[in-house]
Amino acid sequence: MWQLYQFPLCPFSRKVRLLMSEKGIGYELQRENPWDGRDEFFHLNPAGRTPVLADHGKGVVLIDSRAICEYFEETVDKNPMINGSAASRAEIRRLVALFDENFFGDVTAPLLHERMKKRLVYRASPDSRMLREAMKLAHEHLDYIDYLIDNRPWLAGAQMSLADLAAAAQISVVDYLGGIDWSGHEQSKGWYALFKSRPSFRPLLAERMDVIQPPSHYADPNA
Amino acid sequence: MWQLYQFPLCPFSRKVRLLMSEKGIGYELQRENPWDGRDEFFHLNPAGRTPVLADHGKGVVLIDSRAICEYFEETVDKNPMINGSAASRAEIRRLVALFDENFFGDVTAPLLHERMKKRLVYRASPDSRMLREAMKLAHEHLDYIDYLIDNRPWLAGAQMSLADLAAAAQISVVDYLGGIDWSGHEQSKGWYALFKSRPSFRPLLAERMDVIQPPSHYADPNA
């Protein structure tokens, strides 16, 4: 059985969980707070980051969310998520990088720092200027999702792909932390509402961090 | 003909150039400084980052260095760089992420900021504390490369792979900026010397940024 080392608000672990669930691959959760810096975890992953996926019985350890997703895309046929021509696959991977790197750096990372790490680790108050800037950038990213959904059924084209999972994973973390204002983003909201009702997404939306609670609309597929 | 939008010290463009050269794919260079924020470049890539690879005649635009490398791995058989079993491919991709994200974030990005951007864009002096910290982390990354080369002929295993190209691309930029102290890293130095003499690497080592010059050992395969 796969053991997924993760914490509830890690967007990259969420992406892997969505992919595994869509592909019907079972796994158990192992809570790992990277800020604890556990020696055993650094022994497993010298980069010290979640997610790490291990099958200790088989001696397999997979590290880095994109490497993990590519691995399951290559080894499990069900529900392909990096599909189509080489150009289509490049478009899926472009958007995965856009959400993993730009959206994460602009929005998710500052929100996690201000509203999670400062509370749990540093016992400090969030910086309201940083929060405002991150939420402004969230609007720009949602504008881009609105534009994509105006032109395509799913973010990368005609079918749901890893691009959608990567985007939904980031957005769900930011939404949990109260960083998404959906007003004026009807296309993004409609696309995201489809996700909220998927069986792969329900377990993620039901999880809670200690101390930090999400806004009331967070897990409601009709809100 | 492919047009590669890049600037000489962009490590991700260097990785793509090494891959294309190893696979025998021709391209022309288009100088693009992301800090100029050209409208035409943002039109090509909403993320505003190099590298972008475009074949304007065929209407193909590829964005994100990992997506570009996967595209050529899928479409050009010569010199496979993400090769082997699914587990071997996952190990290659783990190391690519380690160098693209951790090495870049710990070492390359601070060096580029302090020694390139501050000089060219902000006209400010580098912060010596930031430089010391980045160079300390460079030693830790070289320790890890030493460890890998103690156990394997190439970083990810028995054959040269995209992991080696990703690592050499980052290191070459940091070495250009005087941020690598090779003393005590014989394994890393020997592995990197092999690269310096490869035909794919020679054109990169011959290029110079305006104003900023590399140390004398930079392009010398015997130094």
Domain layout of chain B by residue ranges: 2-75, 86-206
The pLDDT score that the predictor gives to residue A44 is 94
The pLDDT score that the predictor gives to residue A222 is 82
Instruction: Look at strands B52-55 and A2-6 and give their pairing.
Output: unpaired
CATH number of B86-206: 1.20.1050.10
Rounded to the nearest 5°, which phi and psi values hold at B52?
A: -125, 140
- Shortest CB distance from B64 goes to which of A74, A97, A144? A97
pLDDT at residue A221 is higher than 90: no
Residue A166's pLDDT band (boundaries 50, 70, 90)? very high
The pLDDT score that the predictor gives to residue A102 is 97
Q: Kindly tell me the sign of the dihedral angle through the C-alpha atoms of A156, A160, A166, A170.
A: positive
Domain B2-75 matches domain B86-206 at the CATH topology level = no
Q: What is the mean pLDDT of residues B21-50?
A: 95
Least confident of A48-52, A119-123, B48-52: A119-123
Q: Calculate the alpha carbon distances from A219 to A41, A109, A182, A211 in Å.
A: 31, 21, 14, 17
Distance CA A166, CA A192 (A): 12
Distance CA B201, CA B220 (A): 12
Residue B67's pLDDT band (boundaries 50, 70, 90)? very high
* Best to test chain A binding among B64, B85, B142, B151 (most A CBs inside 10 Å): B64
Q: What is the mean pLDDT of residues A185-198?
A: 94
B interface toward A at CB cutoff 8 Å?
Answer: 46-47, 60, 62-64, 66-68, 70-71, 74-75, 86-87, 89-90, 93-94, 96-98, 101-102, 144
Residue A79's pLDDT band (boundaries 50, 70, 90)? very high
Residue of chain B whose Cα is closest to the Cα of A145: B46
Q: What is the mean pLDDT of residues A9-28?
A: 98
Rounded to the nearest 5°, which phi and psi values hold at A131?
A: -60, -45
How far is A84 from chain B, CA to nearest CA, in Å? 12
What is the percent of chain B where pLDDT is above 70?
100
Q: Which residues of B110-141 are buried (b: 16+ CB within 10 A; e: fewer)?
A: bbbbbbbebeeeeeeebeeeebeebbebbeeb
Closest CA to A19 of A222, A171, A199, A162: A162
Residue A53's pLDDT band (boundaries 50, 70, 90)? very high
Query: Burial of B62 by CB count in 10 Å (0-12 exposed, 13-18 middle, 19+ buried)?
Result: buried
Beta strand ranges found along A9-89 (DSSP E): 27-31, 52-55, 60-63
Residue B48's pLDDT band (boundaries 50, 70, 90)? very high
Cβ–Cβ below 8 Å for B63 and A94: yes
SS3 of B149-174: the string is HHHCCECCECCCCHHHHHHHHHHHHH
A interface toward B at CB cutoff 8 Å?
Answer: 46-47, 60, 62-64, 66-68, 70-71, 74-75, 86-87, 89-90, 93-94, 96-98, 101-102, 144
Distance CA B182, CA B175 (A): 9
- Shortest CB distance from A64 goes to which of B60, B62, B94? B94
Instruction: Look at strands B60-63 and A52-55 and give their pairing.
Output: unpaired
Residue A129's pLDDT band (boundaries 50, 70, 90)? very high
What is the widest separation between alpha-carbon atoms in chain A? 50
Cβ–Cβ below 8 Å for A62 and B90: yes
Order of all β-strands in the sheet with A52-55: A27-31, A2-6, A52-55, A60-63
Q: What is the mean pLDDT of residues B52-77?
A: 97
Residue A186's pLDDT band (boundaries 50, 70, 90)? very high
SS3 of B93-143: the string is HHHHHHHHHHHHHHHHHHHHHHHHHHHHHHCCCCCHHHHHHHHHHHHHHHH
Instruction: Name the residue type at position B97.
Output: A
Contact residues on chain B for A15, CB-CB shorter than 8 A: none
Q: What is the mean pLDDT of residues B73-93?
A: 97
The pLDDT score that the predictor gives to residue A223 is 75
pLDDT at residue A20 is higher than 90: yes
pLDDT at residue B222 is higher than 90: no
Q: What three-state secondary structure class fits A37?
A: coil
pLDDT at residue B66 is higher than 90: yes
CATH number of A2-75: 3.40.30.10
How far is B73 from chain A, CA to nearest CA, in Å? 10
Residue of chain B whose Cα is closest to the Cα of A90: B67
Cβ–Cβ below 8 Å for A68 and B90: yes
Residue B203's pLDDT band (boundaries 50, 70, 90)? very high
Distance CA B134, CA B137 (A): 5
pLDDT at residue B223 is higher than 80: no
